[in-house]
Amino acid sequence: MQKKRLLLLAILISTLGGCATMGVQPWEKDVLAKPEMALNEQPLTDALDDHIYFSKEASSGGKSYAGGGCGCN
């Protein structure tokens, strides 16, 4: 368990380190600024999906809060 955690931490740190070399200049963001490239492009669809899967599966969250809030059948 301890080893697993250390490995996870190492992966996280190296990922963060790698990020400094990634990315683009502000004027190169035209494609990424398109609405279809936004991560929250469809908030209502995401919320509806989260609610369905929260009601029918034992997992929730990940993308956002695990939440709760209903006595779902």
Partner 1 sequence: MNKNKIIKTSLASATLALLTQPALSQQDTDSLSSPTNNQTEQTASDYEWKFDAALLFYSESDSRVQAFEPVFMASKQLDEDESISFKLTVDSLTGASPSGAVASNQVQTFTTPSGNADYQVGANVYPLDDSFKDTRVALAANWSFPLAESTQMTVGANASNEYDYFSASVNANISHDFNNNNTTLFAGLSFASDTIDPVGGAPIALSRMQPVGASQAKLDGTQDKDTLDILFGMTQVIDKYSLFQLNYSYSMSDGYHNDPYKVLSVLGADGNYFDDGIATANVLFENRPDKRTKHSLFGRYKRFIDGDVVDVSYRYMTDDWDIDSHTVDLKYRFALNNDSYIQPHVRYYTQTAAEFYQPYLLQAQALPTYASADYRLAEYDAVTVGLEYGWTTQSDQTWRIALEYYAQSPTEPAKFGVLQDQTLLPDWNAVMLRINYSF
Cβ atoms of 60 and 66 closer than 8 Å: yes
CB closer to partner 1 out of 3 and 58: 58
Q: How far is the CB of 17 from partner 1 (least distance, A)?
A: 11
- Chain centroid, CA 28 distance in Å: 23
40: Cβ–Cβ under 8 A, 6 or more apart, which residues?
Answer: 46
- Is 25 a binding residue for partner 1 by CB under 8 A? The answer is yes
Please report where in the chains the tokens 């989260």 appear, as a residue: 50
- Is 45 a binding residue for partner 1 by CB under 8 A? The answer is yes
The residues of the shown chain that bind partner 1, judged by CB under 8 A, are 15-16, 19-20, 22-26, 28-29, 31-34, 36-40, 42-48, 50-54, 56-71, 73
